[in-house]
Amino acid sequence: MLVLSRKKGQSLNIGDNIRIVLLEVAGDTARIGIEAPPEVAVYRSEIYRAIRRENMEAITSRDILAEFGSLVKPAETDKKLGKKFGQP
């Protein structure tokens, strides 16, 4: 881990397109500003962990399989042709 000291108003850059600015320090709390392109997701760590946990729960949930099954219907048969739709 890189550890840096910054004063109010000073910044640091990550690569060419991310800038972090120390906006304010009050007691043991620091306010920072982050300038990053829209495609770069920026989350507080506790929010990021919660999102990952919920995504993993959703992926492993059996409910999602049941829901998917209810969306998929068996192929219908054309009674005149005796073939399934979409087949030649």
Domain ranges of the chain: 9-41, 43-73
- The span from the CA of 58 to the CA of 52, in Å, is 10
Q: Are strands 77-78 and 18-26 parallel, antiparallel or unpaired?
A: unpaired
| Nearby residues of 53 by Cβ (< 8 Å), 6 or more positions away | none
3-state secondary structure the chain: CCCCCCCCCCEEEECCCEEEEEEEEECCEEEEEEECCCCCCCCCHHHHHHHHHHHHHHHHCHHHHHHHHHHCCCCCEECCCCEECCCC
pLDDT, residue 83, reads: 59
- The span from the CA of 1 to the CA of 22, in Å, is 18
pLDDT in tens, 35-81: 999 999 999 999 999 999 998 887 776 666 677 767 776 666 556 65
Tell me the pTM. 0.60
